[in-house]
């Protein structure tokens, strides 16, 4: 697998972003993209340009203008007016789902029910129960469902796993494992990765890869989470997570696997310096195997093999293969599985089975539980559920509006999210008015039921009535009805930073 004849660095970069597409086979798979996501070009669009057997035919986004601009930029011939229209189009064979985490379950399920094969970005869903349901449905429908752990398909990952597993099979048991993926704080607090309503959190993002790398490369059996230490940056959101997994080898011996993942590290921190390159380190009774930059091996990677007896470290040849990206090799595998009606996927190197995806989410659920945090929940109404601001159905001031008092003063700043108001709010009023809002519980204790607030964002403003409580929102945050949020920003943003005051 290792090769000295692979394309050089700049040649590999050119292969990763081809400008033109090859001609397509008459029976090429037709794939549509859910959402104008930033990962879509690397994930599907560029790889598909190099393959005769697949063509990207359409994209759907909540904002039609955004969809059309995206399609024009990447030479996609068509757009669909909604996600629903895309997944139900009989002329489309496959769906690529790179939507935010909280939307994975709903739209993958709809795509499978519509008879589509699905390439699904990680994590497969918000929790293990959802993941189990999706893969059971895929089996019932005889459709291919692949969770996109792209790094597994690259020749470097395949090579590293092969030499490690051969060493283990030769009678050298694993004694310790470590996997780390540390990202400096390049994402703003409003990024969807930190949105609980979209099943966010670092463990749901980079942590997925750390967990998966331990399971995939070692072949160890997960037993329990020994320790999980989060750094909480907002309500139920981990910006960083470190801990220890208890694993078992094929003989039942205990092995500990340390993991570390972060999206908020300082550029100047010692940990960022030491673990800037995503790495997997596996120690056996005789040797220490290291795979550096396992997540981006096309860009660069390295293998080292240290002999514990002599102390000598050997640098092994790199494995770039033909020089394509991890996403290219992944799409090739997906096409092969679809063309073969999902048969013999066990013969595809790196293939992520349904049981692998379920196990990955079980470990993530267990990490959150051990850390004293909530397992991510199912989202509804296109994923924008009331998970953050779940209604507690308690009336404020006995459900009666208090009249004759001036509204509370002061100007506030905080995040704004949105939800789909239904039934009665905590003030006792029917939420039939589309322009409504919910505030933090401590603020709702004041006499503000029925009062109006003006919410401002980037020069735009909207006036809404406060009729509900958002117990999970921090002080200063405001949860707007969908209609009100749309007056300020595109729904795809999910979270925005606003200023607001009573009027």
List active site positions. 122
CA distance 485 to 492: 11
The phi, psi pair for 43, rounded to 5°, reads: -70, -35
Contact call for residues 425 and 438 (beta carbons, < 8 A)? yes
Residue 239 makes CB contacts below 8 A (sequence gap 6+) with: 194, 202, 231, 232, 233, 262, 263, 264
* Structure-block tokens of residue 109: 């399920």
**Size (the chain), residues:** 503
Cβ neighbours around 171 below 10 Å, total = 9
Give the helix/strand (H/E) hosting 56.
Answer: strand 54-60
Residue 174 makes CB contacts below 8 A (sequence gap 6+) with: 168, 218, 220, 249, 255, 282, 283, 284
> Nearest-CA neighbor of 260 among 315, 333, 193, 183?
183
By DSSP bridging, strand 94-97 and strand 117-120 are parallel
| CA distances for 148 relative to 45, 348, 497, angstroms | 15, 14, 31
Residue 32 makes CB contacts below 8 A (sequence gap 6+) with: 56, 57, 58, 59, 60, 80, 86, 87, 89, 92, 94, 95, 96
- 18 exposed, middle or buried (CB, 10 Å; 0-12, 13-18, 19+)? middle
């Amino acid at each position: 697998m290792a090769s000295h004849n692979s394309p050089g660095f700049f040649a590999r970069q050119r292969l990763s972003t081809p400008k033109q597409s090859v001609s397509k086979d008459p029976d090429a798979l037709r794939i549509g993209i859910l959402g104008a996501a930033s990962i879509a070009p690397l994930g599907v669009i560029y790889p598909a340009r190099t393959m005769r057997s697949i063509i990207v035919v359409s994209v759907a986004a909540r904002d039609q203008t955004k969809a059309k601009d995206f399609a024009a930029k990447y030479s996609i011939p068509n757009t669909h007016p909604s996600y629903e229209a895309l997944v139900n189009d009989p002329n489309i064979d496959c769906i690529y789902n790179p939507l935010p985490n909280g939307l994975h379950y709903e739209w993958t399920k709809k795509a499978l029910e519509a008879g589509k094969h699905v390439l699904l970005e990680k994590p497969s869903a918000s929790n293990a129960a959802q993941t189990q349901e999706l893969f059971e449905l895929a089996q019932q429908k005889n459709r291919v469902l692949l969770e996109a752990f792209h790094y597994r398909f690259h020749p470097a990952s395949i090579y590293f796993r092969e030499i490690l597993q051969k060493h283990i099979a030769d009678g050298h048991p694993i004694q310790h494992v470590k996997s780390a993926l540390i990202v400096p704080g390049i994402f703003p607090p409003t990024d969807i990765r930190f949105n609980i309503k979209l099943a966010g959190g670092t463990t749901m993002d980079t942590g997925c890869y750390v967990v998966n790398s331990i399971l995939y490369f070692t072949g160890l059996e997960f037993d329990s989470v020994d320790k999980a230490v989060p750094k909480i940056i907002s309500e139920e959101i981990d910006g960083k997570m470190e801990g220890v997994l208890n694993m078992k080898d094929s003989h039942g011996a205990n092995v500990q696997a340390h993991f570390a993942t972060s999206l908020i590290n300082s550029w100047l921190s010692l940990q960022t310096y030491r673990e800037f390159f995503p790495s997997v380190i596996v120690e056996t009774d005789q040797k220490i195997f290291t795979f550096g930059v396992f997540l981006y091996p096309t860009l660069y990677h390295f293998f080292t093999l240290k002999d514990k007896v002599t102390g000598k470290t050997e640098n092994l040849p790199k494995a770039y293969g033909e020089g394509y990206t991890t996403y290219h090799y992944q799409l090739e595998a997906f096409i092969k599985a679809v063309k073969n009606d999902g048969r013999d996927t066990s013969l595809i190197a790196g293939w992520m089975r349904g049981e692998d995806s379920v196990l990955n989410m079980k470990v993530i659920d267990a990490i959150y539980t051990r850390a004293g945090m909530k397992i991510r929940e199912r989202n509804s109404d296109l994923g924008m559920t009331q998970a953050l601001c779940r209604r507690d159905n308690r009336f404020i001031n006995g459900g009666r509006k208090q009249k004759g008092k001036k509204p509370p003063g002061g100007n506030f700043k905080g995040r704004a999210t949105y939800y789909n108001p239904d039934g009665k709010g905590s003030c006792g009023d029917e939420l039939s008015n589309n322009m409504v809002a919910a505030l933090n519980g401590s603020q709702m204790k004041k006499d503000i039921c029925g009062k109006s607030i003006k919410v401002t964002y980037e020069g735009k403003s909207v006036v809404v009535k406060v009729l509900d409580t958002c117990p999970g929102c921090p002080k200063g945050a405001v949860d707007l009805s969908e209609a009100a949020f749309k007056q300020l920003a595109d729904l795809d943003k999910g979270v925005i930073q606003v200023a607001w005051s009573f009027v």
